[in-house]
Chain A
Amino acid sequence: QSALTQPPSASGSPGQSVTISCTGTSSDVGGYNYVSWYQQHPGKAPKLMIYEVNKRPSGVPDRFSGSKSGSTASLTVSGLQAEDEADYYCSSYADSNKLLFGGGTKLTVL
């Protein structure tokens, strides 16, 4: 299976909203509601931001939200803040007990 497809970069000004897409197939994103999103700051371990498409772990601000339509999942960051600047990765369960990650999106806060 190939990695999920994410745009390499995204940007927005403080206070704005930005949406990052994650495109897969019917064998992964489209077939299961097990899409997660991770935030990774430089030199740090990833942090889980969204699981099961649209659920937030305790402590994650509600500015972060997830959704899915067909084989494309999306992460929306509302009210952008400087500390949101990071790399974001999506992941999805895939057929035959695999887990796929996207290539990552670098989010820049202008």
Chain B
Amino acid sequence: QVQLVESGGGLVKPGGSLRLSCAASGFTFTDHYMSWVRQAPGKGLEWISYISSSSSPIYYADSVKGRFTVSRDNAKRSLYLQMNSLRAEDTAVYYCTREDYYYASGRWGQGTLVTVSS
């Protein structure tokens, strides 16, 4: 069955870095754009980035552009999110998603919590 499993979340200090991973299984990874979406505690959803199946193009939300980098390794069926210069407002559950239709995420991982605090 289709699975998206995020890992790498945790507690990090402001200004620090963290790398999230998303392991995909149960489908042809190269057939899909992939996205990252986050949700701050008790708040709504916020789109972060999406990456094409070939890793170009890649698009980012203005709130993370220049600080976050998305990549994928199709051979490893994995998606990554490198987060630098982290701020308190980056505290959120980060979801890896599979784009099943144009700009619509049909599959979501369980999420991984990132907490930015001193």
Residues of A at under 8 Å CB distance from B?
Answer: 1, 3, 34, 36, 38, 40, 45-48, 51-52, 55, 57, 89, 91-93, 97-104
Residues of B at under 8 Å CB distance from A?
Answer: 35, 37, 44-47, 50, 57, 59, 61-62, 95, 100-106, 108-111
Tell me the number of A-to-B contacts counted with CB atoms below 8 Å. 69
The docked-state distance in angstroms from the alpha carbon of A40 to that of B95 is: 13
**B106:A45 contact, CB within 8 angstroms:** no
The docked-state distance in angstroms from the alpha carbon of A48 to that of B62 is: 24
The docked-state distance in angstroms from the alpha carbon of A97 to that of B104 is: 13
Residues from chain A with Cβ under 8 Å of B100 in the complex:
48, 51, 57
Distance to closest chain B CB from A97 (angstroms) = 4
**B103:A36 contact, CB within 8 angstroms:** yes
Closest to A47 in B: B108
**B109:A45 contact, CB within 8 angstroms:** yes
Residues from chain B with Cβ under 8 Å of A97 in the complex:
57, 59
